[in-house]
Structure 1
């Protein structure tokens, strides 16, 4: 009923003459197209009547255009391979398409071709092989990506966008790895900008930003399938099966309407954390439970509950429980309760289920305007380490986006919502299992009573201590027993941390942003304008935030503009200037400028020199502002002005002296007291040790946004030495930080005013105080600097060889702010090597990646420790079966088998082996 045009043709490699299977053929600006078969041939049938233009493209090659003037036309197209990987196109650096070679700032990139060739178990793991990128392993399913230092698992300084949506947790303010990310089959490109990017992308694009872009259902149609299976092996956990399944389905019903759906399922065993070294002094300490009665094992929880037993004896003596003078027999030493190992408190089941779907509508049948509805759902289990270790179980996140997109603009809005599911805090699970069986007063009372009786009976001190613990431990709930299981299951369902451990949260945020490129209206320069708005709705029912009476809402917004102008002959000099203004509800506005120059030298513009100056800022997170949480070692209290009086600690026991002063056996301390009536924690420790006459008043200021000023110079180019060609990418940077956001521990006395009388000192002497972690800014001068260089070439007739080196360092005067830990948490030296060939022989390829990094210091609220240097080797071999449209891959990660940790307290990373079968991708 309709006229039909048929076009046939062949696509070849211009250099070798070989046919190219999988090349894309489409009518310009429409969703009508096809792909070449495994012989490089194609047949395109369309209702479009000539003349029209065909676009022929393929990853790694320059796009060609062919004019179609008649029906049944036959074409032969030769595609020219990009001279280097630096010819690939990126969008993120300037919000406009440009060659990596010409980008004004450092850019790292991974596309679907690189993903197929990665030796890592997943594309997300493969990011660690990029230059200047750090990936810290929290658990098997939670990897934290970072650049340029100050790494944490709760990495709020690095932003991760998936199809334009920030997929950070609304309550935690950082991305939980790829838990709500993208299916490997649907990844089109991953672009990563190291360093400050606030001028275009606003708050939190502070240390860097990563863009994951999915394939369009108009351009990439069909059904793709990937099945991956294998084992993880670890000394603590043994050998465990894991499996990873992905499917992608996309179809364009017409030029106007297309749909896409993806589903991913992963299941395995987490890395078990079994570091039982003693940390009773806040760092690794000699001794175990048998030799240190105040033992506090790193991956042992519940043994943080500790007290001085002479004080207990004095109380018992005053109550007549012990005879007069008995307290003098009890030594003034701290004793901790017996804890539970983490392996008895964690399920260690790693699981991730992700679903994504989109409806794409083009009203005019071309890419002038596209309307996209996109929904993403993710549910899974993982492990998160912050102040404590959290078993993230049945955690659920969803995102829904409506976007209007054209050639020169986009407008989108989306909502991100989460449900913490059945997640819980393992430290409080252990503490409250102990207390559910026997409260602290009873346990320590029994210990002291048995010790005293043993001493009176002639036992030595060691024997009396053994008798005390044996008596107090009688009837203890043992892991695996019905009594333990009943108590444990009850506690992890209870969100009240005085008796339970559940992590409860239903926080969400609403976000909208827009961008307009004025190139169709202004021709003397390329000018863009845009802005964004976000509304947070914190909803933890008072279990994390101080939202006791209902959700807490606050907003932030920003506007920006960018000008890009080219000068000199052949547009060799490119000038880019950006500026952005951001305002958050609780803080003053911030202006973030960026200026950069890029000069393309050489006959083919293959020698690029760049220099840039930019600033970045980071707004305090939802937790920095509104948290109110007992973390066991300290009370965490956010510093938003309306949060200080809303937060009150649980009732705290006051000594007999204190009762005479305040007239009550217990007291609740407000968050305001932490900021306005407290001593610094380090000075209280020094005061208790007799090192200073009086402790130092803390005077903690309310938290404000932190800022960074960044300078960078770089070079990208193609270097020829005889017949050998090398691509070189070099960058050097210097960052200066102001108002670095810091958590500071302070000690608040129950009575007295700090600094102006002796009553507060008496409170310290009587143990009538509590510890808060406050959120503020450091006044110290902090700077970081570093360099990266990457060299890639082809050797031995087509083998790919890549080598890159990263140097990272920071300066900080600890004496200027003794209570502040900068937490740089980054190796000074890293070296990464890649070697492989996609076609070692027909349909067979391989790839090897090796990484080395030196030791570094990890600082966190969990523990400070030095992380040992490590060398990691990953490798894969692959075989293509064209008749089945399939690729088989056999690979392994950490093939040397030497286990390593990214930070103290996490599970040691063992080896991972896999076999995958991918169809039609």
Structure 2
């Protein structure tokens, strides 16, 4: 193909008197071809890119001499002057230091990583291709300082600097400037409905508070995924991956993953692209049967057994003379098929009416998926649909962007309520417990053994129970999971959406060397629509809005060695008072060769309570979660033991759940242990973050060290409370109500009054060793400073190991067209806290590896690899399935 192209170019040069043609090859310092390099004729819009062999060809009407501008991410740009008679040019590009690569996220303007005012990580095209993981998103866990909690095969949750849950509302994920958050769940579902691997241009990650430029909820970090522009990256590329997942509970199961990208520029003014990706496999089975309430005791030993991944046994009661007894539950595997699926489609139209520096973009993204999701309960997301539509106008100095994000929960359901209500479809709680009590008394009178009596009572009460695999069970399951009333069903409905408008203008081109000044703002409006299954929107959608404005000034001094940056943002939600978020940073470049840099910053962040924090009204089996917006307190009601009670009781007439539990353990005799709760309604959470950092480029060795200290104010917390069904707290009537078991359990959303701080450090080294082998290592330390005695019932959900170590070692040019990469991650044990479960996550070590072989003649690459190759199963959060091994082979075509 290359020979044919060359001959064709020579032929054209002979017969065309008005045109000149040029071709050439582009390689790196090791003689390896570099695909995807931009070759542009200076002063014109004529441009091409190198192919899989590093080969390029360009034809022009321009007279000699003319200049070619050659550039590629990760390499120093070069220019090549072409004189008369030259028809072939061979170009060698020199790889630049990682610290010299450009990033945009830290200051909303291009700058070298080396000079970034705050910590920032960059993950480029080459990193995506070399990742020793089955997909690029999972490979992000190899970035220093990053935690990835695996909820399921298709849903990983990214976080930095602690306080992570799967409902990670402290971390923001943007795709081409659009917030990828689920409007109702309030967090991104990993890459379930995100970006096609073939379309990734680069990824930038800002750990820590970023509210000064990005507003609410850019609190613990923000991830930017930027895709390829069809003007710059044209052609058709595709991949096909297949393999197996291997887990003790699930066995070996096949998966496959296919992707396609097509992009075309129709002249200099119009371009378009489309992407499609489809993944299907089997999720990690969650089969933990540990007793939540009485650890170590089995169902046979504990009549009130409540298994972690067993549902339906949350329903329990105290039987007179017998004690607490729970109904028999169903394993999670009985209540979901564990099919994992992700379908992603997106397309965009690009128009440049005035040349390269002005562009109008319409983009649409549609994603549909199936996965397991864990919050206060475990949810099976089936046919979950998210779509986004964006219109953007931009050039090098400004952008104006508007988009809408809308979701449809599809056939999603709560597995806990599926178990509870399948039981109830067969037999009511009243009948079941009545039969249990009768059979217990009969058996005990005959045997005198409580253990035998409990066993006989359960067998008697369970007679005729719907067994998994039977038609009766399947009929009940289908009925329950299609019923949106949690009194009788398990399905949840959400068609929630939000619209967002964003604008920014950078005045630096008007101010010369004076300073870089930019201003911007945003506006967002929520429309909460769940038909009362998640929110208290029984009578129509709940709507509210928020806006923000910001400005930043950046100035270089002292021979451009000193860089000062100041930012401030004002945000206002219609439900809360306004909030200011300032940031100030200073950076100084040291050394004769300007190869060392120190930085310091103090910045603030805040996050508004989420839509669920404000307007949720959701039964979770043993109680209900009630949002604390003032308008929500009376909107939510439930009936407990024949008495109707509202959400207001949770906030204005309640004891702490722990104290009620202690009171009942005394037989209701010691009222001194009772503690009145009455939590305040929630308000925005704030953080002040101080960071110091040092970067150095010693040639073949790069060093990046940072440390931070975070101080939180009004930390948003969940507090479990119990409200008596009669009487005001502190009265004898209320105490008698508790003794009789007449109380309602609630999970409230409020703010902790305790002092909560966190601190940590990240140490990273990147080096080229043994010639052209790449070695990257990092160590992360993270710790919280929290005195539990200040707020005994509060869970911070820090959920982060104190120590983490990561290392990657590889060589993409080990032999001609052959490369490899490996990764190892080690974590200490840590305590996982969430509304679903609390417990220890043991220490784990994970080893991943891949080898790849390039086939230039076919513009193809074969990639063979595996994750968790030791086979030692582990988990990153309590209640999820153990993560086994994944083995894969992938074939990529024209992935430049």
Tell me the TM-score range normalised by the shorter chain: over 0.9
**Other-structure match for 2:720:** 745
Q: Deviations over 1:747-779 (max 9, x none)?
A: 111111112x21111111111110111100001
- Please give the residue correspondences for 1:343-492 in structure 2 after superposition, counting only pairs within 5 Å: 343-364=333-354, 366-457=355-446, 460-492=449-481
Judge conservation of contact 1:30–1:367 (CA < 8 Å) in 2.
no
**Other-structure match for 1:652:** 640
State the distance in 1 between where 2:43 and 2:607 align: 39
Number of aligned residue pairs: give it: 877
How far the C-alpha of 1:332 sits from its partner, in A, is 3.7
How far the C-alpha of 1:637 sits from its partner, in A, is 0.6
State the distance in 1 between where 2:206 and 2:426 align: 52
State the distance in 2 between where 1:539 and 1:491 align: 21
**Other-structure match for 1:324:** none
- Please give the residue correspondences for 1:52-63 in structure 2 after superposition, counting only pairs within 5 Å: 54-63=68-77
State the distance in 2 between where 1:468 and 1:29 align: 87
**Other-structure match for 1:45:** 59
Structure 2 residue 543 is the aligned partner of structure 1 residue 566: no
**Other-structure match for 2:790:** 816
SS at match of 1:668: strand
Structure 1 residues 395, 822: CA separation in 2 closer, same or farther (over 3 Å shift)?
same
Q: Deviations over 1:294-341 (max 9, x none)?
A: 11111111011111111xxxxxxxxxxxxxxxxxxxx34111111101
TM-score normalized with structure 2 length: 0.95
Structure 2 residue 637 is the aligned partner of structure 1 residue 627: no
State the distance in 1 between where 2:474 and 2:204 align: 47
Judge conservation of contact 1:887–1:919 (CA < 8 Å) in 2.
yes
**Other-structure match for 1:662:** none
**Other-structure match for 2:3:** none
Structure 1 residues 618, 514: CA separation in 2 closer, same or farther (over 3 Å shift)?
same
Structure 2 residue 488 is the aligned partner of structure 1 residue 514: no
State the distance in 2 between where 1:550 and 1:73 align: 70
Judge conservation of contact 1:51–1:69 (CA < 8 Å) in 2.
yes
SS at match of 1:693: helix
Structure 1 residues 533, 881: CA separation in 2 closer, same or farther (over 3 Å shift)?
same
Q: Deviations over 1:720-756 (max 9, x none)?
A: 6xxxx3100000110000000001111111111112x
Bigger mean CA deviation after superposition, 45-54 or 186-195: 45-54
State the distance in 1 between where 2:43 and 2:684 align: 44
CA RMSD of aligned residues (A): 1.8
Query: Which runs of no fewer than 5 residues in structure 1 stay unpaired?
Result: 311-330, 654-665
**Other-structure match for 2:751:** 777
Structure 2 residue 708 is the aligned partner of structure 1 residue 730: no
Q: Deviations over 1:676-722 (max 9, x none)?
A: 111111221222233652512113111000000000010111136xx
Q: Deviations over 1:523-550 (max 9, x none)?
A: 2100010000000000000110011111
How far the C-alpha of 1:33 sits from its partner, in A, is 1.8
How far the C-alpha of 1:515 sits from its partner, in A, is 0.6
SS at match of 1:780: coil
Q: Deviations over 1:9-65 (max 9, x none)?
A: 435557556664542212458763222345544221246778875421123211223
Structure 2 residue 693 is the aligned partner of structure 1 residue 714: yes
Q: Deviations over 1:92-125 (max 9, x none)?
A: 0111111111111111111111111110111100
Judge conservation of contact 2:71–2:78 (CA < 8 Å) in 1.
yes
Bigger mean CA deviation after superposition, 672-681 or 822-831: 672-681
**Other-structure match for 1:338:** 328
**Other-structure match for 1:671:** 647
Structure 2 residue 50 is the aligned partner of structure 1 residue 36: yes
**Other-structure match for 1:790:** 764
State the distance in 2 between where 1:904 and 1:415 align: 34
Structure 2 residue 130 is the aligned partner of structure 1 residue 117: yes
Structure 1 residues 494, 131: CA separation in 2 closer, same or farther (over 3 Å shift)?
same
**Other-structure match for 1:686:** 662
State the distance in 1 between where 2:363 and 2:399 align: 14
State the distance in 2 between where 1:782 and 1:368 align: 47
Judge conservation of contact 2:52–2:894 (CA < 8 Å) in 1.
no
Query: Which runs of no fewer than 5 residues in structure 2 stay unpaired?
Result: 1-14
Judge conservation of contact 1:372–1:402 (CA < 8 Å) in 2.
yes
SS at match of 2:511: coil
How far the C-alpha of 1:468 sits from its partner, in A, is 1.6
Structure 2 residue 678 is the aligned partner of structure 1 residue 699: yes
**Other-structure match for 1:326:** none
- Please give the residue correspondences for 1:515-594 in structure 2 after superposition, counting only pairs within 5 Å: 515-523=504-512, 524-569=514-559, 571-594=560-583
State the distance in 2 between where 1:30 and 1:562 align: 34
Structure 2 residue 111 is the aligned partner of structure 1 residue 137: no
Structure 2 residue 296 is the aligned partner of structure 1 residue 306: no
SS at match of 1:521: helix
Structure 2 residue 881 is the aligned partner of structure 1 residue 907: yes
State the distance in 2 between where 1:736 and 1:583 align: 22
State the distance in 2 between where 1:2 and 1:274 align: 72
Bigger mean CA deviation after superposition, 220-229 or 521-530: 521-530
**Other-structure match for 2:732:** 758
Judge conservation of contact 2:36–2:233 (CA < 8 Å) in 1.
no
Judge conservation of contact 2:568–2:581 (CA < 8 Å) in 1.
yes
**Other-structure match for 2:185:** 172
State the distance in 1 between where 2:861 and 2:267 align: 30
Judge conservation of contact 2:64–2:82 (CA < 8 Å) in 1.
yes
Judge conservation of contact 1:423–1:503 (CA < 8 Å) in 2.
yes
TM-score normalized with structure 1 length: 0.93
